[in-house]
Amino acid sequence: MAGLGMLPRRWRHRCCSLLLPALLVSWVACQAPPVPAGEQPWDGQDVHIERSFVPEQCARTVRSGDFVRYHYHGTFPDGSKFDSSYDRGSTFNAFVGKGQLIAGMDKALVGMCVNERRFVKIPPKLAYGSEGVSGVIPPNAVLHFDVLLIDLWNSEDEVQIQTYLKPEKCTRTIQVSDFVRYHYNGTFLDGTLFDSSHNRMRTYDTYVGIGWLIPGMDKGLLGMCVGEKRIITIPPSLAYGEEGDGKEIPGQASLVFDVALLDLHNPKDGITIENQQVPESCERKSQTGDFLRYHYNGTLLDGTLFDSSYSRNHTYDTYIGKGYVIAGMDEGLLGVCIGEKKRIIIPPHLGYGEEGRGKIPGSAVLVFDIHVIDFHNPLDSVNITTHYKPSNCTVLSKKGDYLKYHYNASLLDGTLLDSTISLGKTYNIVLGSGQVVLGMDMGLRDMCVGERRTVIIPPHLGYGEAGVEGEVPGSAVLVFDIELLELVSGLPDGYMFVWHGDVSPNLFEEIDKDNNGEVFLEEFSEYIQAQVDSGKGKLAPGFDSAKIVKNMFANQDRNGDGKITAEEFKLKDQEATEGHDEL
C-alpha cells in the first residue's frame, strides 16, 4: 500500500508516485503495537483524537504550514489493515494544512509533539467520502490511524542553539576559518542516534565557516568556547535537504547534534604566553644555542594530560633554538630566566601537526606549563663572584697548594646538593691535582685565606651530561658558595720534594749509612723523613708522604732491582728531562 490514507481524494489515483523520501524506522516506531479504540463515545462527525503517549518534554507542536515526518498504521473499525508506513520502512512526509493530506489527518496532526503517539478516528467526509479508493478503501469508510510523530520543522526555521555547559573562563571563541576538534552525538528529533564521534573514539576535526561542514553546523559552532557543550538543532534546509546523505540520514530530516568543543586554533596563530612568573632577579635570559633544563606538564586545551616531566622525576634537557624541540617550544623557551614559570600554548602547525604523536592527537593545540630550572651555553666558563676579601690578601692560591675550605653546593634553582658546614669538616684538596671537577679547580685559584666567593660551574666543567647518580642531575649548572680557611703552599710544578737550602755534595753517602754502596727503601725513607722533620726538606702537601717517598725511591732505582747505587743516584737538576720525583 502506498500511503493512501494520507492523500486527498484528487490524488488517490496517483498516490504511489507522491510519497516523500524514506526515513529509517526508529526502534520505538517499529515496536509500536496497535492501540485499541477508546471507550469515549464518538458522534462520527469530526476527527476523534486519543493521545496515547505524550513525551514529558515538548518544545514544539505541529502547526499548519509545518513539515512533518511520521509513522502510522491505517485500519478500518474492524481492525483490518489497509495501509502502514512501517511496512514500507519509511516515514510519511508532508506539509500540514496545505492540502497534501486528507482533511482529517491535517486536523489530527496539529498540536502534536515529536515522539507523541495518537489514535485518530476520521469520518468519511474528512477522509475519502462516498467515493473511497478503488480496491483499497470502500465508500463512506471510517478510518483509524495509529500515528507516531518522528520529525517536525518549518521552512522558516533557523539553527537552534542550546548551551548547557560553558566554562567560567572563555578567552576565545570560534570564528570563521578557525580549525576545531570536537566530539558529538548526532540524533534525529525523536532521539534516534545516527552517528557519534564518541563511538569512534576520535574527535571530528575541521575548519569552520569555509564550507567543509553542512551550513547549519557551520553556524552552530560559531562562538563556542573550548570546554563548552551545546545542542545544535538543524533544519533539513541547512543540513542534507530533500535527498539526505544517502546513508544514515533520510531526506527532510531535522538533525540534533550534542557537541563538546575540545580544541580551537587558527592557521595564523602563533604561540601564546600566559601566567608568566618572572623572578625579581634575572641576570641572564636564554638565547639561541643555550642548553636548558626545565620541568613541564603537557596538556591538551581541554585539560587532558599527555605528558609530564614531574612524573618521571627528571627535567627535560635540550638545546633551544636549534630544532631539537617542536618549533613552538623552541620559540617559547627563548628569553626566559632561571626560575621563571609560564604557560606556553602552541598551535598544531608549531607542534605535532596533523599527524600528532603518541598520546597527542592530530591537529591538537598543546599547553605546556613550564618551570625553568637552569640553563647554560657550551661556551660558558666558570663565573666567580667575590663577596669578601681580607685587606691583607697577599698569598694567593695556586696550583700545587694544599687548601682547606668550606662550601655549600646547590643547583641554580637553589636546591641544596651538599654542604661541608653541615658535616662539620672542611674539604681538603691539592689544587691542580685533579681531586675536584675542573670548574672547581678554576674557581679556587687566586684565593686568599678568609676570602668568600660564589663559583658557578657549567656542566661541561662540572659533572657533564651524566651527573652523579642520586646526587647531581645530568647537565646541571652547579653553584658553590666557598670560604677558604687554610692554605699550605705547594711545591714547584713537577716536584714532590724540595730542599730548604743547599744540598750536601755528599748526599748519597749521607743516605747510605752502612757505606755498602747500596741504598734500600728503608734507608731512603728514614733519611727523607729526617730532612722533613728537621726543616731541611719539604714534601708536597696534601698527599700520602709514604707514597711520595716510595715513588721517589722507584724513580732513583732505575734498573728496578730494589736498591739505588751511586751510579743510579741523581738530583732533579741533573736529569736531562723533567717528570720524575727525584731529589
Residues with catalytic annotation?
296, 306-307, 326, 352, 368
Instruction: Locate 316 and state its grid cell.
Output: 627535560
Contact 109, 70 (CB under 8 A): yes
Which residue carries 515526518 as its cell? 69
DSSP E strand stretches across 219-265: 229-234, 255-265
Residue 243 one-letter amino acid: E
Instruction: Locate 418 and state its grid cell.
Output: 651538599
Contact 113, 190 (CB under 8 A): no
In this structure, how many other beta carbons lie within 10 angstroms of the beta carbon of residue 63? 13
Distance, in Å, from the CA atom of 339 to the CA atom of 293, rounded to the nearest integer, reads 11
Instruction: Locate 63 and state its grid cell.
Output: 502547526
Contact 363, 354 (CB under 8 A): yes
Which string of DSSP letters, residue by residue, matches 467-490? -BTTTB-TT--EEEEEEEEEEE--
Which string of DSSP letters, residue by residue, matches 412-435? TT--EEEEHHHHTS-EEEETTSSS
The DSSP letter of residue 14 is G
Length of the chain: 583
Which string of DSSP letters, residue by residue, matches 297-346? EEEETT--EEEEHHHHTS-EEEESSSSSS-HHHHHHTTTPPTT-EEEEEE
Distance, in Å, from the CA atom of 117 to the CA atom of 72, rounded to the nearest integer, reads 9
Distance, in Å, from the CA atom of 557 to the CA atom of 549, rounded to the nearest integer, reads 12
